[in-house]
Amino acid sequence: MSDLRLMKGNEALAEAAIRAGCKGYFGYPITPQSEILEYLALEGRSRGMVVLQAESEVAAINMVYGGSGAGARVMTSSSSPGISLMQEGLSYIACAELPCLVVNVNRGGPGLGTIQPSQGDYFQSVKGGGHGDYRLLVLAPSSVQEMADFVFDAFDLADKYRTPVLMLADGALGQMMEKVAFREYNPADHVVAKPWATTGKPGTRERNIITSLHIEPEKMEQINLHLQEKYRLIAENETRCEHFHTEDAEYLIVAYGLAARIAKGAVEMARAAGIKAGLLRPVTLFPYPTAAIRRLADMVRGVLVVEMNAGQMVEDVRLAVEGRVQVRFYGRMGGVIPAPDEVLGALEEMVKEHAAQHEEVY
């Protein structure tokens, strides 16, 4: 860890991409993430990166396909409407097993919506988004430091599993300034052989073909089984979450990204008020920390899920909890950021309700 800098989340992410050895960036401007393209246009180009402003997000994601297929570390970034446009391409990329980084700096929707921060793209990010049975490996940063750190992790994971990795941030994480330290990272130490890449066929090997087309159903089923096995492996090895005061928690909050930061504040306020609250923050949204949540569900009296949407991740929490305890939801939509005392209010209500039920029973 060296050179501590004060940076916007978007800029930290862009700087990390250069340091991670990203060779190609393809993107189209959209608020609140245009700083990524702008930063790279200035810094990336002069440091040996191809930075191409595409004619659309559709073109951008297909450039990522081509660039990754050619064996290079490549990425794109956008915000919600642009990520919607990329879904067909992402499905192709997942099937053709092309490693790449895609960044979504989530803004409020649906529609053109608002440029304010939101977590409304959770379903789209973790349930497939495009057509067919595929997954993205999804990392959810919750600080400017993680906006940088996860870029290195994302490229390494993408190469390791030959899979697209999505960083799901939000407008606040992209825009806010915090201190950030860039990790020591020499891309040369992280090079993964890509014998499958279309780099030109020498006489010594068969031609390489990047495709997602397998017309015989039996072949296509094999491809699907292979992908599913890969996702199982990813779930086994790469599931990540952060615990905050969960050891002795009686009430558990589950939140990711910016919502988790707010929830941390609420946990501290609750503890000061005598409520034993804890937070579990999923760091990977796919794979999801189902087992960790299930374990905690056996210990606590209730679970509160906090999101900046109408209640999306809460479905995955309910699947993890499997009815062991009550799961409540608190969310704000459309770009409104919940305040810690709102979250505390929701927590206190849950505590009260539990106490009331408790009285009824006895």
Partner 1 sequence: MERQMVRPDPSGLPSVYERPGTLTDTPFHYCPGCGHGVVHRVLMEVVDELGIQEETVGVAPVGCSVFAYNYLDIDMQEAAHGRASAVATAVKRMLPGKYVFSYQGDGDLAAIGTAETIHTANRGENILVLFINNAIYGMTGGQMAPTTLLGMKTTTSPAGRTVETAGFPLKITEMLAMLPGVYYVSRNSVHTPGAVRHLKKAILKSFQYQKENRGTCFIEVVSNCPSGWKMTPLEANKWMEEHMFPLYPPGEIKVPK
The residues binding partner 1 (CB under 8 A) are 23-24, 26, 50, 52, 54-56, 58-60, 62-67, 69-72, 74, 88-89, 92, 96, 198-203, 206-213
SS3 105: strand
Q: What is the nearest approach in angstroms of partner 1 to the Cβ of residue 81?
A: 16
Q: Report the C-alpha dihedral over residues 103, 109, 115, 117, rounded to 10 degrees.
A: -70
Whether the bond into 117 is cis, omega within 30 of 0: no
Q: Would you say 47 or 201 has its CB closer to partner 1?
A: 201
Give CA–CA dist 258/249, Å, rounded: 21
Q: What is the nearest approach in angstroms of partner 1 to the Cβ of residue 284?
A: 28
Q: What is the nearest approach in angstroms of partner 1 to the Cβ of residue 203?
A: 7
Q: What is the nearest approach in angstroms of partner 1 to the Cβ of residue 48?
A: 12
Give CA–CA dist 149/164, Å, rounded: 17
The strand pairing partners of 307, in sequence order, are: 331
Q: Would you say 71 or 338 has its CB closer to partner 1?
A: 71
CA-atom Rg of the chain in angstroms: 21
Residue listed under structure tokens 């899979």: 163
Q: Would you say 100 or 254 has its CB closer to partner 1?
A: 100
Q: Would you say 91 or 284 has its CB closer to partner 1?
A: 91
CA-to-CA dists, residue 127 to 99, 145, 253, 286, 332, angstroms: 19, 27, 22, 8, 21
Q: Would you say 43 or 88 has its CB closer to partner 1?
A: 88
Q: What is the nearest approach in angstroms of partner 1 to the Cβ of residue 23?
A: 6
Residues 6+ apart with CB under 8 A from 121: 80, 83, 104, 106, 109, 168
Q: Would you say 67 or 99 has its CB closer to partner 1?
A: 67
As to burial, measured by CB atoms within 10 angstroms (0-12 exposed, 13-18 middle, 19+ buried), residue 360 is: exposed
Q: What is the nearest approach in angstroms of partner 1 to the Cβ of residue 67?
A: 4
